[in-house]
């Protein structure tokens, strides 16, 4: 009897929906579709699928080659899917999203590769049509083949992949391109540039125009004026980017004036030790003259922005590159940005030589989360997870641009360095650094910063470090500075009471292993260090460890301002202003002199 009663009650709940006060039945929203996958040939075509629903719904596609009609409606309907012709010799995929108050469903779309018969391979590009043909037939070329640009051309869309030697011969490619596609199911649409992917060489090329990215949905973008991504042994040489880059986004971006992401493919073991690296990125004699700007909406994940490169992975050489364009980031999340390169990860062996930044590098915070950081550097912004024994060399690099970090009264933590903002730590630090020596090295040789550094809008819980050459070095990193000159004006308004978190140095803001070395460096008479009354300020290092090495160099003058107290650097007091803490055993400053 009880079982029958329970069945009757369950049947009643199924048949009858709940009622409002007025007694009307409220129908539970539902949404169903009759297929979850569409597969078509390379030719342009159309397909349909049916929606069964009792609610309002919307339909959108993840790719610009897929369109739907209708895009919204209510109740049951048939949706027509129009698929453009695939003109490249590669299968492509996308998706259609159907959303309602009931649920979210999707239809996968697959389109076959085009069958292309190549009669004669093009080796000279003289028109936009030639550019498209080369891209569509790239699978027929050998990596050693040379394709030359014989005229200035204007294209409407990027080339998918470049696996040869492309010689621009000083000509200009103009591209004005806007996309809202954030699909990562097909890597073609996660990379944007004149070339989406470069595996070969691009040289002697100039670019002009604009790229605007406003993604809808989720994904990761690589954006560059020349290339979205340069992978394995990609080479960029004597290229000049004039394409203005702009991204308004809530997703992760790697964006650089020349290339968004460049670097080797790496393999690591369980201890984070690099086992193998395949390929070395090379960027030489390249220049950016255009604005590189990212505006983040919401709390996006970390994004990397650079005047030349957004993200450099593991190994590479960046030589004789110059940035003249402004590099701008605004929004929440964590930003890693630099006049030349925003982010270097899995440090193995990297060289920045004869690089110059003359553009402004500006970060403006508009939000904060517990993991938010801002890293701003004249040459590079941030190094992450370096390997044991990893080395980076900055030689003859200089910054003249103004570096600005506006914390906008948020709690965001920030580091700003004239050459490099942050030297990261190795995950193997505790194991490999038991003897007290550093496990990786940051070497600065004959580098200089004359650009102003301004950090403003700090609040009491903000961590803030500024360095004329490097802002911060992890305890497991050896900072070696030789023949460097600091002559800029550096200021921070942080009220942080702990000097550990509020440091300002003419060379290094804070940190480093005990065997850091400072040899023949110069603090110019124009150098002014301005902080709050609680800021740890030193002409060489703002908050130093117990360094065990002999320090040499020259102090030409300068000024230190702490709150309301101003100290002019003289021959009588300079030696007491070099460091804020005593040096360790063996550490001396007897080789530091005063005068011009």
pLDDT for 207-230, tens place per residue?
Answer: 999 999 887 666 678 999 999 999
Q: Could you state, in order of their start, the residue ranges of all structural domains in the chain? A: 28-111, 167-175+191-359, 365-370+388-596
Phi-psi bin for 576: left (phi > 0), alpha (psi -120 to 50), beta? Answer: alpha
Structure tokens at 463: 């961590």
Query: For tokens 């040289």, what's the residue?
Result: 203
User: How do residues 410-429 score in pLDDT, each as one tens digit?
Assistant: 888 999 999 999 987 654 44
Distance between CA atoms of residues 470 and 544, nearest Å: 13
* pLDDT at residue 557, rounded to an integer: 95
Q: Which residues pair with 374 in a beta bridge?
A: 335, 414
Query: For tokens 């998706």, what's the residue?
Result: 95
* pLDDT at residue 388, rounded to an integer: 66
Structure tokens at 256: 């650089």
Q: Which residue has the higher pLDDT, 273 or 501?
A: 501
Smallest CA-to-CA distance from 411 within 346, 496, 486 is with: 496
pLDDT (average), residues 159-183 = 90
With beta carbons less than 8 A apart as the criterion, state whether 466 and 492 touch: yes
* pLDDT at residue 512, rounded to an integer: 85
Distance between CA atoms of residues 584 and 596, nearest Å: 29
Q: What is the pTM of this model?
A: 0.81
Beta strands in 340-463 (DSSP E): 341-353, 356-357, 361-365, 373-377, 380-384, 390-395, 398-399, 403-406, 413-417, 420-423, 440-445, 448-449, 453-456
Q: Which residue has the higher pLDDT, 554 or 366?
A: 554
* pLDDT at residue 299, rounded to an integer: 60
* pLDDT at residue 542, rounded to an integer: 95
Structure tokens at 357: 């930044």
Q: Give the mean pLDDT of the chain.
A: 86
With beta carbons less than 8 A apart as the criterion, state whether 136 and 114 touch: yes
* pLDDT at residue 332, rounded to an integer: 81
* pLDDT at residue 538, rounded to an integer: 97
User: How do residues 565-590 score in pLDDT, each as one tens digit?
Assistant: 999 999 999 999 999 999 999 999 99
* Reported confidence tier of residue 85, pLDDT bands at 50, 70, 90: very high
Phi-psi bin for 134: left (phi > 0), alpha (psi -120 to 50), beta? Answer: alpha
With beta carbons less than 8 A apart as the criterion, state whether 308 and 301 touch: no
User: How do residues 462-484 score in pLDDT, each as one tens digit?
Assistant: 889 999 999 998 877 888 999 99
User: How do residues 29-54 score in pLDDT, each as one tens digit?
Assistant: 899 999 999 999 999 999 999 999 99
* Reported confidence tier of residue 300, pLDDT bands at 50, 70, 90: low
* pLDDT at residue 387, rounded to an integer: 63
Q: How many residues does the chain have?
A: 596
Which fold would CATH assign to domain 28-111?
A: Immunoglobulin-like (2.60.40)
* pLDDT at residue 214, rounded to an integer: 83
* Reported confidence tier of residue 117, pLDDT bands at 50, 70, 90: low
Percentage of the chain beyond pLDDT 70 is 84
User: How do residues 317-344 score in pLDDT, each as one tens digit?
Assistant: 899 999 999 999 998 888 999 999 999 8
* pLDDT at residue 383, rounded to an integer: 80
């Amino acid at each position: 009897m009880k079982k029958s009663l329970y069945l009757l009650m369950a049947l009643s709940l199924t048949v009858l929906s709940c009622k409002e006060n007025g007694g009307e039945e409220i129908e539970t929203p539902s949404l169903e579709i009759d297929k979850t996958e569409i597969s078509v040939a390379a030719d342009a075509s159309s397909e349909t699928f049916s929606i069964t629903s009792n609610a309002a719904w919307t339909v959108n596609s993840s790719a610009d080659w897929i369109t739907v009609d209708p895009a919204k409606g209510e109740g049951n309907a048939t949706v027509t899917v129009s698929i453009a012709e695939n003109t490249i010799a590669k299968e492509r995929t996308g998706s259609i999203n159907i959303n309602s108050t009931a649920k979210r469903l999707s239809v996968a779309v697959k389109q076959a590769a085009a069958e292309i018969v190549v009669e004669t391979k093009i080796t000279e590009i003289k028109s936009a049509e030639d550019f498209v043909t080369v891209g569509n037939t790239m699978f027929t070329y050998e990596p050693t083949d040379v394709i030359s640009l014989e005229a200035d051309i204007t294209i409407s869309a990027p080339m998918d992949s470049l696996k040869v030697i492309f010689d621009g011969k000083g000509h200009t490619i103009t591209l004005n391109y806007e996309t809202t596609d954030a699909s990562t199911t097909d890597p073609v649409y996660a990379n944007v540039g004149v070339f989406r992917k470069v595996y070969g060489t691009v040289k002697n090329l100039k670019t002009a125009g604009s790229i605007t990215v406003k993604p809808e949905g989720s994904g990761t973008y690589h954006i560059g004026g020349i290339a979205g991504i340069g992978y394995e042994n990609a080479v960029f040489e004597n290229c000049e980017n004039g394409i203005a880059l702009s991204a308004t986004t809530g997703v992760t971006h790697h964006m650089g004036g020349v290339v968004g992401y460049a670097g080797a493919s790496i393999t690591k073991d369980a201890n984070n030790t690099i086992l193998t690296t395949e390929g070395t990125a090379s960027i030489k004699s390249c220049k950016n003259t255009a604005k590189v700007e990212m505006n983040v909406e919401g709390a996006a994940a970390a994004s990397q922005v650079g005047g030349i490169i957004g993200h450099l992975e593991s190994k590479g050489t960046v030589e004789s590159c110059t940035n003249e364009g402004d590099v701008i980031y605004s929004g929440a999340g964590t930003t890693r940005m630099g006049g030349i390169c925003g982010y270097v990860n899995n440090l193995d062996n990297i060289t920045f030589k004869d690089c110059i930044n003359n553009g402004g590098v500006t970060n403006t915070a508009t939000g904060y989360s517990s993991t938010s950081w801002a890293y701003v550097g004249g040459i590079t912004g941030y190094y992450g997870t370096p390997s044991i024994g990893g080395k980076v060399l900055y030689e003859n690099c200089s910054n003249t641009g103004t570096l600005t970090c506006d914390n906008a009264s948020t709690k965001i933590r920030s580091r700003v360095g004239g050459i490099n903002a942050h030297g990261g730590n190795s995950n193997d630090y505790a194991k490999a650094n038991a003897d007290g020596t550093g496990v990786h090295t940051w070497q600065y040789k004959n580098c200089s910063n004359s650009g102003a550094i301004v950090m403003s809008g700090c609040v009491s819980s903000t961590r803030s470090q500024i360095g004329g050459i490097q802002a911060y070095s992890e305890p497991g990193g050896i900072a070696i500075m030789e023949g460097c000159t600091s002559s800029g004006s550096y200021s921070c308004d942080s009220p942080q009471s702990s000097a550990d978190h509020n440091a300002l140095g003419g060379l290094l803001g804070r940190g480093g292993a005990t065997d850091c070395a400072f040899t023949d460096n110069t603090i110019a008479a124009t150098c002014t260090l301005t902080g709050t009354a609680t800021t740890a300020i030193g002409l060489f290092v703002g908050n130093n460890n117990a360094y065990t090495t002999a320090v040499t160099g020259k102090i030409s003058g300068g000024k230190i301002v702490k709150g309301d107290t101003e100290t002019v650097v003289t021959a009588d007091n300079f030696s007491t202003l070099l460091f804020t803490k005593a040096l360790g055993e063996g550490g001396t400053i007897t080789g530091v002199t005063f005068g011009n």
